[in-house]
Amino acid sequence: MADPRRLPHGEDGGPATGPGYLQHHFESLVQQKDASSLGMWLFLVTEILFFGGLFLVYTIYRWSYPLAFADASRHMDVRLGTTNTAVLIISSLTMAMAVHSAAAGRRRLIIPFLAATMLLGTTFLGIKAIEYTEHIRHHLFPGPWFHYPGPQIHARPAELFFSLYFAMTGLHALHMVIGLGILSVLVVQSRRGRYTGQWHTPIEMSGLYWHFVDIVWIFLFPLLYLIGRHVH
Amino acid sequence: MAAEFIPEAEPLHPRDNYLNVRYGVGSWLLTRDHKRIALLYLASITFFFFLGGLFALLIRLELLTPGGDLVQSETYNKLFTMHGVVMIFFFLIPSIPAVLGNFLIPMMIGAKDLAFPRLNLLSWYIYIVGAAFTMWAVVHGGVDTGWTFYTPLSTAAANGHVVATAVGIFITGFSSILTGLNFIVTIHTMRAPGLTWFRLPLFVWSHYATSLIMVLGTPVIAVTLLMVGVERIFHLGLFDPALGGDPVLFQHLFWFYSHPAVYIMILPAMGVISEVVTTFSRKNIFGYRFVAFASVAIAVLGFLVWGHHMFVSGQSVYAGMIFSLLSFLVAIPSAIKVFNWTATMYRGSISWRTPMLYAFGFIGLFTIGGLTGLFLATLGVDVHVHDTYFIVAHFHYIMVGGAIMGYLGGMHYWWPKISGKMYPEGWARFAALIVFIGFNLTFFPQFVLGYLGMPRRYHAYPPEFQVLNVMSTAGASVLGVGYVIPMIYFAWSMRYGKNAPANPWRSTGLEWQTTSPPPTENFPVPPVVTSEPYVYATESEVVG
């Protein structure tokens, strides 16, 4: 390792020349990569705890009102939910392919896979918007306009269910929007040829984020859409 | 620790350290240097410290007389709410970690910077944006829910700016998360060659434990405040009893963060005390591994005791018993630290410098605060003194007597390194004495008041409590003077103070092995560590 003080400092925070992507305060690429990975995983831990609060509230209320939650869950459109689940899983595949292409040095493939991921993500949000519109049209958004079409004995806990539905899927959708923003930055940077087989940390880290957001949906889908299927 | 290259007390050349390497507002506001970011934090939290202090002063003035004469009860409610919000979220939580931790951790581990310098700067900006929201709420009439935001008061009843304040705290939480994340990654990946985990200074251990709490706890308060916010704005009924929701669930979520948050405030101060006690006793720390693991144990146990805030909230008695037991357990690692500091001082060569005075203050006051915490963790006693001034006194002994004493001790200890100047020792000792006297005069009477049954959060009280309240208000004035004096002489020393040598305390810490103030890259040559920390004296020197 050369004397690190002689590496360009990159005062703008970005890579300078030489083994450019090595920032001035790291001694080696391995150290820099370790720091990024650990940082990203820690960030995902904070995200788990962030969503965890809502999952906890869901768990407690579902435990308190199992029948009402099952009944309210029947007002979900399972076909749209299933479609969206499939869309997201496929988007995880294309994201993984983008990371793989970057790692293998096939730079031409990065942008198509990123674009496919973004298209699928946008599709998910579109379908979600259709679902939201339907719920609001049927007075299922909590608050003064809420009107429960099912048995009135379940009406108040059902409003809790829909509060949780909108809070959890809304927070998830917000993460999707942020993810799409990150991916568009990656596309721009890929067009500039920033990423190489040797250094493509941002793509890899964004991939972790994207998979995390998918996994959250994998839990949300059964908890919100499918629990009514078993209760008669 | 190994010292390889120290030229002692060389003259300062122009543009050779982090303070004078570049000038201008832009060089500060866009800096990536952890040391400059630490100073940005220092300026901001000092502002909030005095703002929160102003609220405290108004509270104490109102309580000078039994009647409600200075402010109305509504104003009073807002005052204690804003005092709590500002002091906890905008001063105490960032205080030692964001200022001293930010400044010192890379230097203590022999690194050039934190792992993510841009994230570090971002965390300060996030803090400022969050502070702006909360300040907006203050200026536009404040909020009166108490800093705890209990539902359904906060969601359905309170008329103040709950959402703006909650958004401010929510945003500031991310600055805390980023700081914690940055510390953990830095400590894991950027230690100098030879610096193994058990050679780390205890300050770093305590910040590692603090960072764990920041990273694991803060997201929970964030999502909890988010739920309060959407409940207020969109009428989602997450904690609404009218829908079958459970307001006590809010308390569980709130205290899941806010109890560990107490350890975010006290653990870094414990780190400071470990450094100060060894340096000014000129002895190796007694039981290094015990002190190090005690920090981690406090962080872990801290997550398991939140229910002791809810003994009278309708929580099941059995849950209360478990939480009571777990709360007692926190006393074990805390006591280990106190005993080990004391054992470190035993037969040490103690010098009565200002940082050491604060360390003495910390150890005594923290012990009182901790032991009264055991009273409160006891179910029966807690039912008696719950929501009285007893608990106010208890947590101020921890947060002011502990955390702020630690912060001030640390600021004096590292001031020569931070500023390159010596503070005036005589004035500093005098101020430390004033702080200690003022603190005890303010808060000890509150133990008595609480035990006699004076409830907290009321602006009026029966006349028989007046004598003790007058003592407390008088103490608060003395304490205020004690806080203003260091402000003045720190500022004075920046211009008129003596130039500080690289290592004025003859400390063994790695941060003292570079110049004062350090260069931007911290060390002229990346250091290599070849020995344990705190190698102050051989056995013969101690005995002889």
- Token pair 């002692």 is at which residue? B8
The pLDDT value given to residue B537: 67
Secondary structure tally for chain B: helices H, strands E = 18, 0
The per-residue b/e assignment along A3-35, b for 16 or more CB within 10 angstroms, e otherwise, is eeeebeebeeeeebeeeebbbbbbbeeebbbbb
Give the residue from chain B lying closest to A10, CA to CA: B32
- Testing the interface with A: which of B185, B188, B220 to mutate, by most A Cβ within 10 A? B185
Q: A–B: how many Cβ contacts below 8 A? A: 122
- Contact B216/A45, CB-based, under 8 Å? yes
Question: In chain A, whose CA is at the least distance from the CA of B522?
Answer: A25
Question: From the CB of residue A51, how many other CB atoms can be counted at a distance below 10 Å?
Answer: 21
Residue in A39, A45, A156 nearest the CB of B243: A156
CB B292 within 8 A of CB B267: no
Q: Answer yes or no: do A164 and B249 touch at CB < 8 A.
A: no
Statement: residue A19 has pLDDT above 60: no
Among B112, B215, B240, beta carbon nearest to A25: B112
Residues in contact with A231: Cβ distance below 8 Å, sequence separation at least 6, in sequence order? A66, A67, A70, A71
Give chain B positions within 8 Å (CB) of A11.
32
Which among B57, B85, B209 has a CA at the least distance from the CA of B147? B85
Helix (H, G, I), strand (E, B) or coil at B347: coil
Q: Is the omega angle on the peptide bond into residue B11 within 30 degrees of 0, that is, cis?
A: no
Nearest to B115 among A24, A35, A64 (CB): A35
Cross-chain Cβ contact A156/B116 below 8 Å: no
Measure the CA–CA gap between B374 and B368, rounded to whole angstroms: 10
Which of B107, B223, B226, B525 should be substituted to probe chain A, the one whose Cβ sees the most A Cβ atoms within 10 Å?
Answer: B223
pLDDT at A17 over 60: no
End-to-end CA, chain A: 68
Which residues 209-228 on chain A approach chain B with CB closer than 8 angstroms?
none
Query: Which residues are CB-neighbours of A14 under 8 A, at least 6 positions away?
Result: none
What gap in Å lies between CA A154 and CA A142, rounded to an integer? 14
The reported pLDDT for the residue numbered A4 is 39
Give Cα A40 to chain centroid, integer Å.
14
CA dist A29 and A199 (Å) reads: 9
Who among A43, A54, A60 is closest to B223 (CB)? A54
List the single best residue of B236, B239, B248, B250 to mutate versus A (max A Cβ within 10 A). B236
CA angle B504/B506/B509 to nearest 5° reads: 105
Residue of B nearest to A163 (CA): B236
**Would the CB atoms of B188 and A49 count as touching at under 8 Å?**
no
CA atoms within 13 A on the CB side of B443: 26
DSSP state of B518: P
- Asked whether the beta carbons of A57 and A164 are under 8 A apart, the reply is yes
Q: Is there a contact between A142 and B181 if contact means CB atoms under 8 Å apart?
A: no
- What angle do helix axes B405-419 and B354-377 make, rounded to 10 degrees? 150
A8 pLDDT more than 70: no
Half-sphere exposure of B539 (CA within 13 A, CB side): 0
CA–CA dist B273, B60 (Å, integer): 30
- A41 close contact with B: CB closer than 8 A: no
Lookup result for tokens 């203590």: B108
Q: Nearest-CA distance from B260 to chain A in Å? A: 14
| DSSP, residue by residue, B459-515 | S---GGGHHHHHHHHHHHHHHHHHHHHHHHHHHHHHHHSPBPPS-TT----GGGGS-
Burial label for B234, CB within 10 Å (0-12, 13-18, 19+), is: middle
For the stretch A61-100, pLDDT in tens is 999 999 999 999 999 999 999 999 999 999 999 999 999 9
Is there a contact between A54 and B227 if contact means CB atoms under 8 Å apart?
yes
Q: Which residues of A196-216 are buried (b: 16+ CB within 10 A; e: fewer)?
A: eeebbbbbbbbbbbbbbbbeb
| Closest Cβ opposite residue A144 in set B235, B245, B249 | B235
pLDDT bracket for residue A9 (50, 70, 90) = very low
Flag whether residue A1 sits within 8 Å of chain B, measured between CB atoms.
no
CA proximity to A128, closest of A4, A217, A12:
A217
- Alpha-carbon gap, residue B95 to B409, rounded angstroms: 13
| Residue B421 DSSP class | B
Say how far apart CA B26 and CA B231 lie, in whole Å.
41
Is there a cis peptide before residue B517, judged by omega within 30 degrees of 0?
yes
CA distance B11 to chain A (A): 23
Q: Does B236 sit within 8 Å of A166, measured CB to CB?
A: yes
| B27, two tokens | 């060089």
Residue of B nearest to A54 (CA): B223
Q: Is A56 on the interface with B (CB under 8 A)?
A: yes
A175's CB contacts (< 8 A; 6+ apart) are A47, A213, A216
Token pair, residue A11, equals: 């005062």
Q: Which residue of B has its CA nearest to A24?
A: B112
B421: left (phi over 0), alpha (psi -120 to 50) or beta: beta
Q: Report the alpha-carbon distance of residue A72 to residue A137 in Å, rounded.
A: 16
Interface test with B, best of A32, A42, A56, A63 (most B CBs within 10 A): A42
Contact between residue B277 and residue B344 where contact means Cβ atoms under 8 Å apart: yes
Contact of A171 with chain B, judged by CB distance below 8 Å, is answered with: yes
- Chain B residues with CB inside 8 Å of A23's CB? 117
Chain-chain contact of A4 with B222 (C-beta, under 8 angstroms): no
CA B5/CA B506 separation, integer angstroms: 15
With an 8 Å Cβ cutoff, are A27 and B526 in contact? yes
Q: Using the beta-carbon criterion (under 8 Å), do B235 and A142 form an inter-chain contact? A: yes
Q: Is the pLDDT of residue A18 over 70?
A: no
Torsion angle, CA of A167/A173/A178/A181, rounded to 10 degrees? -160
Count of beta carbons in the 10 Å neighbourhood of residue A49: 21
Average pLDDT over every residue of A39-63: 97
CATH assignment, B36-539: 1.20.210.10
Among B503, B439, B478, B527, CA closest to B110: B527
What residue ranges do the domains of chain A occupy? 36-229
pLDDT tens digits in sequence order for chain B, 544 residues long: 444 444 445 455 556 899 988 889 999 999 999 999 999 999 999 999 999 999 999 999 999 999 988 999 999 999 999 999 999 999 999 999 999 999 999 999 999 999 999 999 999 999 999 999 999 998 998 899 999 999 888 888 877 899 999 999 999 999 999 999 999 999 999 999 999 999 999 999 999 999 999 999 999 999 999 999 999 888 888 898 888 889 999 999 999 999 999 999 999 999 999 999 999 999 999 999 999 999 999 999 999 999 999 999 988 899 999 999 999 999 999 999 999 999 999 999 999 999 999 999 999 999 999 999 999 999 999 999 999 999 999 999 999 999 999 999 999 999 999 999 999 999 999 999 999 999 999 999 999 999 999 999 999 999 999 999 999 999 999 999 999 999 999 999 999 999 999 999 999 999 999 999 999 999 988 899 999 999 986 544 544 4
- The CA radius of gyration of chain B, in Å to the nearest whole number, is 23
CB contact under 8 A, A49 and B220: yes
Residues of A in contact with B123 (CB under 8 A): none
Question: Would the CB atoms of B220 and A53 count as touching at under 8 Å?
Answer: yes
Is it true that domain A36-229 has CATH number 3.40.50.970? Answer: no
Is A46 within 8 Å of B181 when comparing Cβ atoms?
yes
Interchain CB distance below 8 Å, B215 and A46: yes
Q: Which residues contact B130 (CB under 8 A, 6 or more apart)?
A: B89, B167, B168, B169, B170, B171, B172, B173, B174, B175
Whether B294 and B343 have beta carbons less than 8 Å apart is answered as: no
- Residue of B189, B215, B243 lying closest to A45 (CB–CB): B215
Q: What backbone phi and psi angles, to 5 degrees, belong to B263?
A: -80, -25
ipTM rounded to 2 decimals: 0.91
Judged by a CB distance cut-off of 8 A, whether residue A31 touches chain B is yes
Transcribe B194-238 into DSSP letters. T--GGGS-HHHHHHHHHHHHHHHHHHHHHHHHHHHHHHHHH---S
- Token look-up 């008129």 returns B496
Of B184, B243, B526, the CB nearest to A42: B184
Taking phi over 0 as left and psi of -120 to 50 as alpha, with beta for the rest, B244 belongs to left
List CB contacts (< 8 A) between A142 and chain B: 234-237, 243
User: What is the chain A residue with the closest CA to B192?
Assistant: A27
Q: What stretch of H or E contains B407? A: helix B405-419
Residue B89: CA count within 13 A, CB half-sphere: 34
What 8-state DSSP symbol labels residue B64? T
- 8 Å CB contact of A46 and B526: no
Which of A25, A144, A166 has the CB atom closest to B111's CB atom? A25
- What is the per-residue burial (b if ≥16 Cβ within 10 Å, else e) of B51-75? bbbebbbbbbbbbebeebebbeeeb
Three-state SS across A124-169? HHHHHHHHHHHHHHCCCCCCCCCCCCCCHHHHHHHHHHHHHHHHHH
